[in-house]
Chain A
Amino acid sequence: MSDWRRIDIDAYDPESGRLNREDLIPSYPNQITLQDLQPTISQLRSFANSGDINSAIQLATSDVPYNTDEQTKLQYVYAVLEVLVQVRQADVINIIKGLNSQQQDSLAKFLYKGMSMPEGQKNGGILLSWFEKLTQVAGVTPIVHYLSDRRTV
């Protein structure tokens, strides 16, 4: 019995009821659709086009859509990524300093998400520079929050 840790003890207990991924995600009273989100996304694009990255980041991180499906989340992330990569290096630190701690946590989520997918990796250097400045300003707190938060972007 050296490999007792590998025994699937739930198989011997019909009442056990396995823990699902869904069990751990907080339940939301209502779901947001892509249509609901479209005004925010176009607002983000227009901020980005006019070069007002600060306002765009403020908007993107203030009301993050958690209560929606993966496809819609992805559209939102693409829009935020477009904003993130258009920043001038010199502005990054002041933009981050202008965020409150919840917004900094949200920013960390977008950075991790961006770095995890090819669309973000194309501009990995810029995302890493955001990340570097974020940890300079806020320490490891946004990272710890990202790792432990079940509300994902």
Chain B
Amino acid sequence: MSADRSVQSIFKLTKAPIYSHCFSADKSILAITHENECLIYRMNDSSQPQLVGTLKNHDKTVTAVDISVHGRIITCSQDRNAYVWEPLSDGTYKPTLVLLRINRAATAVQWAPNGYKFAVGSSARIIAVCYYEHENNWWVSKHIKKPIKSTINCVSWHSNGVLLAAGGTDGYMRVFSGFIKGLDTKESVANSPWGDKFPFGSLVREAYQGAYIHDVQWRSNVEQVAYVAHDGTLNILDANNNVSSINAPDGLPFKTLLWINDNEILCGGYSRHPVLFSRASNGWKFAKDLDKGSGSAEQEPAVTSNGEDEEENQTFGISALRKFKELDLKGKVSTNTKESAHDNAIAGFVPFVESNGHVQQVSSCGLDGKVVTYNI
């Protein structure tokens, strides 16, 4: 029907918005945020995901969820808490409360690549870096405070597990060190182009954007960090402080981004469909829209020919029906508008099928309660 075959599958999971979703390493388990809960689904081939669990310890909206390489789930919520959910052999999860020591909502969470620590962004102008202490059988939270001036919206770990990028409503994208003694080694950041010494909490880089930063993501092997802001821009920062900036083709802000490979970034947000950008010799440029809803012009001749058929019939009922249809069309170009898969803003992307550092299928969650997978 349509030339755009980028949509692979659409799963309408909830009525409430999905702010965050993620998959286990083998993509068999899907976790989504749903009001005060986190819902766990088992993925089936080509059919609707099957609900297998509900994590319900939070008493306010769950804002973010992530799954570690070991299968542990971390959720954080506006109730100022985070829980680590340990998978048990019978398919249930054992919760452990993490005392974040923040006085406002937790907004974003991500496991470090090794799965032994995670970072939580919050409205308390704090990033909490949490790790497990065996002696105390307890998740310890260490704070990064300065110079954060407002809510943190997003966090992203470098693959070395030390550099932590964060963006927020003060309009700054910042790179901090999340170095934890005993957990991280100096070798992992040896010869890093971002600096020489990385004591915990130190500010490594700072980039002023002005508008809210909605999402940030590292591309570690090219040592670049990309972020999207509420002014509708995608920005890419390298270790030499060069920023490449590009506007959204629709003008509407992006909420999320995902590196597809070293030279391509997928963005999504209020325009409800993914937009692909690629690196050219002179900076980044717009490559293509995926699943862009449109008033399809090629359908229109079919409508008029139908109209002629009806006229030939000369049946009163049908011509009256046509009259009403025409009335209904007022103010529209055509009835045959193709809607994009998401009916509301896209809130997050995660890779779904990936090989050799190249993402082939992407999964998105949206404020319409859908999870959609796209072919790139």
Contacts and interface: CB of A to CB of B under 8 A. Distances in A.
Contact of A148 (B149, B170, B208, B211): B211
Nearest to A149: B210
Interface string B51-76: 00000000000000000000000000
Contacts of A24: 149-150, 170-171
A26 B251 contact: no
B247 A141 contact: yes
B168 to A, nearest CB: 11
A101 B104 contact: no
A143 interface: yes
Given A24-B149, A144-B231, A149 B211 contact: yes
B359 interface: no
B140 interface: no
A151 B209 CA distance: 11
A55 B337 CA distance: 42
Contact of A140 (B103, B171, B212, B250): B250
Contacts of A141: 232, 247-248, 251
A140 B210 contact: no
Contacts of B251: 138-141, 143-144
A101 B252 contact: no
Interface residues of B, number: 20
Contacts of A138: 251
A133 interface: no
B230 A101 contact: no
B178 interface: no
Contacts of B150: 19, 23-24
A144 B210 contact: no
Contacts, number: 51
A36 interface: no
A58 to B, nearest CB: 21
Contacts of B230: 144, 148
Nearest to B147: A23
B350 interface: no
A151 to B, nearest CB: 7
Q: Which of B104, B232, B250 has the most CB of A within 10 A?
A: B232
A144 B253 contact: yes
B104 A9 contact: yes
A133 to B, nearest CB: 16
B231 A145 contact: yes
A97 interface: no
A140 B252 contact: yes
A145 B149 contact: no
A19 B149 CA distance: 7
A149 to B, nearest CB: 6
A150 interface: yes
A143 B150 CA distance: 24
B247 A148 contact: no
B229 interface: yes
A26 B149 contact: no
A142 B21 CA distance: 32
Interface in A115-153: 138-141, 143-145, 148-151
Nearest to A142: B251
Contact of B171 (A9, A101, A150): A150
Contacts of B232: 141, 144-145, 148
Given A19-B149, A23-B170, A24-B149, A148 B250 contact: no
A3 interface: no
Given A9-B104, A19-B150, A145-B231, A101 B247 contact: yes
A148 B254 CA distance: 13
B252 A148 contact: no
Contacts of A91: none
A9 B250 contact: no
Contacts of B171: 24, 150
Contacts of A151: 210
10 contacts: A9-B103, A24-B149, A26-B210, A138-B251, A139-B251, A141-B247, A144-B231, A148-B211, A148-B253, A150-B210
Given A23-B149, A139-B250, A140-B251, 20 more contacts: A9-B104, A19-B170, A26-B208, A26-B210, A138-B251, A139-B251, A140-B252, A141-B232, A141-B247, A141-B251, A144-B230, A144-B231, A144-B232, A145-B231, A148-B211, A148-B232, A149-B210, A149-B211, A149-B231, A150-B211
Interface of B: 103-104, 149-150, 170-171, 208, 210-212, 229-232, 247-248, 250-253
* Top 4 A-B residue pairs of the complex, sorted by shortest distance between their CB atoms: A148-B211, A141-B251, A140-B251, A148-B231
